[in-house]
Amino acid sequence: MIDELIAVSGLPGLYKMVANRNNGLIVEDIETGKRRFCSIRKHQFTPLGSISIYTMTDTISLQNVLRKIDSQENEYPVPDTKADKSILVAYFANIVPDFDRDKVYPSDIKKLIKWYQFLQEHNLLADILVDKKSDEEE
């Protein structure tokens, strides 16, 4: 499920890729269900499945980070994305204690929290977490 979702530069939210063309992608807005063409000349596309967070020793996949946020939400409630940068960094340090502070910026943490809340609001988070559990079983 996470491999179907993409972030499109210059556009808010997350999208589902519907079709691939030589000069861009046709994406579907998850909120509205509307489809639109996005040119490769104007936009960059990042599949969520390809995103990783730097740690001091390696990287951790976005999917694993989302699982950690979800499993620790009772202990560490997700802060508002408009919170002070120091609050966002302190929160993320509780979720991924060994994240690389030189490579993971507060803006990255803010974006990750926005994606988590977006996925949760649209009932997509459960599918992503189930995908990961089935990957671990294999």
Global pTM value? 0.86
Q: Could you tell me if 25 and 45 are in contact, meaning their C-beta atoms sit under 8 angstroms apart? A: yes
The answer on pLDDT for 136 being more than 80 is no
Averaged pLDDT, 43-48? 94
The answer on pLDDT for 133 being more than 50 is no
Q: Which residue pairs from 65-68 have beta carbons closer than 8 angstroms and sit at least 24 positions apart in sequence?
A: 65/95, 65/96, 65/112, 66/115, 66/116, 66/119, 66/125, 66/128, 66/129, 67/129, 67/132, 68/95, 68/96
- The fold for domain 2-48 equals SH3 type barrels. (2.30.30)
pLDDT in tens, 65-106: 999 999 999 999 999 999 999 999 999 999 999 999 999 999
* Of 60, 55, 66, 52, residue with least CA distance to 126: 66
Averaged pLDDT, 116-121? 93
At the second CATH level, the architecture of 51-137 is Orthogonal Bundle (1.10)
Domain extents for the chain?
Answer: 2-48, 51-137
The answer on pLDDT for 130 being more than 80 is no
